[in-house]
Structure 1
């Protein structure tokens, strides 16, 4: 017979505590709307720009202050860093959280952009803001001077095939040695293992023919295995090149410029190259223009001059909108994605581009580029 741990009175008391009565529920329902009056700071917190992503993370006031300090530190560091020493900005996922961080930094950039004097300073401010976003969301920034390429892992099936090829080549060597008359115990043991499970005896008269057939069979297997590896390597190389072309064309062109791709052989002398191009572009040449120049000049007199161009923030926004997000950047390393996200920079860029257009001069940042030679067959 089971013993009762609680008596009837104790069980009734526990039941009342666990299941509230209808009167208590009604009283709790009447008191619920008045609970907001006891916490007035809740309504004040609702006025902040709170954005919730899939992980239910929120951007609250203390996070905004932390973002502001990270932004200031990143901008100060970027201003003192040369272009060639800037880190490579990674491609960040287009998630709600990341977009919320970019939107939160927009009003913080107004103070820095208003004090910007030229396009170079604006570019450094935007790059610093991009670095700040990467640090806030936890994206990895490659260290300056460190290689960012990752070594490709070798598939397990390829390792197994390479092991088979190595064992087959070792077996071919020992079978060939035995056929040449080497009767050492290790060689004999390997040959017996190679013909194990067959009716072939090492003392039969046609053993030389059997050895030749066995060696040819192993060579055919090695050729088939090697062809499979080469077929995989070629397909993998094409796939990686196509993917790299979509993400970073500059790196693809650098890979294509390697000697093993462009072909073997000694290149031309650097002094000869400099002398050749200097003769075309550096030395002045006196040309004798024909009468057609006078005809063209007379026809151009009647051409109406073009109206002055006025660059507006809408023009900048439209130009940025049509640009791909992660197109290979220029010397500054700033992708179009950041120009789209930091919308407060459009007015500043329009004003500074207008000033550069009126002064008929652009900083070297916008007039210097990198030319990559593309090898063709």
Structure 2
């Protein structure tokens, strides 16, 4: 079982393409219900371990971190085409030499036969390879749309080199790690405050099993996971843990603190203008914007928890699939 605040040794769980047996799910949830767990980190680690056991029971091998090998059918076709090309070359050379009439006719027939086989196999290899590529892109679209679009765009234009690590890290740290105070004279902010001046204050702060279930059910089954490597699919199957998760979330808000892994994110830098090249300012990140607590009359305990949580925000900057740096995200405040 991975540690509650360290997922460096974990790998993404393999996607399940077939239905999990109903009896297996019932037994798993009965077992989970009887296990005593205190923190949200322990719950997370338990779900990961449970998913690993389910995959093992279904005979599904763990996801390999090695590069995907070329399929055997592709290697076989490539070898056949390679052998046929050698045969065509050899027969062509032989037919050009003076031979007896009978031998020459036999050579020409063998050459034509080899050429026909080559003509048949080459398009077949191309068709199979394209079909395999399309299936892989379809799966990637479901699991990780960002990566799919990135790869698709990379096929349409020349690959862009990675942005310089040191200057990119400095560029975004200067933006995100420096505390900044903004003014309150913006017209849009005044209009927004006026439209919400009669908003009723949030009464009570309870998180129920139903709240957890509704949120989990709205999530994409196989979207790219966070640092815990757990996809939403496994949260949906661990129904017996919803009550415990609700209580643990309430405890986090009451205590006003949590482990740093809960607010550690991942920011993919996307190129804006390919003509400008891989300069730090030419990349577009995903940004969090903060304010509006008083405007929406959010419960004070939740406001305090979110403000505390924001002090722990961290994100890993990535470009072209490579990690560049870890940056803290400082909240922006409005001056009074």
TM-score, structure 2 length as denominator?
A: 0.59
Partner of 2:73: 154
Aligned residues: 267
Give how far 1:157 is off.
5.2
Counterparts of 2:99 and 2:159 in 1: how far apart (Å)? 42
> Is 2:25 aligned against 1:125?
no
Summarize the alignment of residues 165-180 of structure 1 with structure 2, pairs less than 5 Å apart.
Answer: 165-170=85-90, 174=93
Query: Does residue 107 in structure 1 map to residue 16 in structure 2?
Result: no
Cα distance in 1 for residues equivalent to 2:115 and 2:70: 31
The alignment status of 1:333 with 2:254, answered yes or no, reads no
The residue that corresponds to 1:353 in the other structure is: 249
Cα displacement (A) at 1:109: 2.4
Question: Is the contact between residue 219 and residue 232 of structure 2 (CA under 8 Å) also seen in structure 1?
Answer: yes
How far off is 1:239 after superposition? 2.4
Cα distance, 1:312 vs. partner?
0.9
Of 10, 15, 19, the match for 1:94: 19
The answer (yes or no) to whether the contact 2:77–2:125 under 8 Å persists in 1 is: no
Answer 1 or 2: which has greater strand percent. 2
1:281 lines up with 2:205 in the alignment: no
Distance in 2, Cα, partners of 1:239 & 1:325 = 18
Q: 1:152-301 to 2 correspondence within 5 Å?
A: 152-155=71-74, 159-170=79-90, 174=93, 188=97, 195-196=104-105, 226=122, 229-246=125-142, 248-249=143-144, 253=148, 256=151, 263-264=158-159, 266-283=161-178, 290=185, 292=187, 295=190, 299=194
Q: Is the 8 A contact 2:207 2:250 kept in 1?
A: yes
Distance 1:276 1:169, change over 3 A: farther
Q: Give the conservation status (yes or no) of the 8 Å contact 2:5–2:41.
A: no
What SS does the aligned partner of 2:239 have? coil
- Does the 8 Å contact 2:5/2:261 carry over to 1? no
What's the offset of the Cα at 1:123? 0.7
What is the TM-score with the length of structure 1 in the denominator? 0.54
Between structure 1 and structure 2, the one with the greater Rg is 1
- 1:85 corresponds to: 9
Whether the 8 Å CA contact 1:109–1:344 is kept in 2: the answer is yes
1:141 aligns with 2:62: yes
Structure with the bigger RCO (C-alpha within 8 Å, sep 6+) is: 2
Instruction: Quote the Cα distance in structure 2 between the aligned partners of 1:272 and 1:194.
Output: 71
What is the alpha-carbon root mean square deviation over aligned residues?
A: 4.7
Match status 1:312 vs 2:237: no
1:192 to partner: Cα distance:
8.4
The structure carrying a bigger helix percent of its residues is: 1
Aligned-partner Cα distance in 2 for 1:339–1:223:
51
Quote the offset at 1:320 in angstroms: 2.5
In structure 1, distance between residues paired with 2:177 and 2:33: 45
Q: What is the SS of the residue equivalent to 1:370?
A: strand
**Structure 1, 364-373 or 224-233: larger mean CA deviation:** 224-233
Q: Which residue of 1 aligns with 2:288?
A: none
Aligned equivalents of 2:185 and 2:150: distance in 1?
Answer: 47
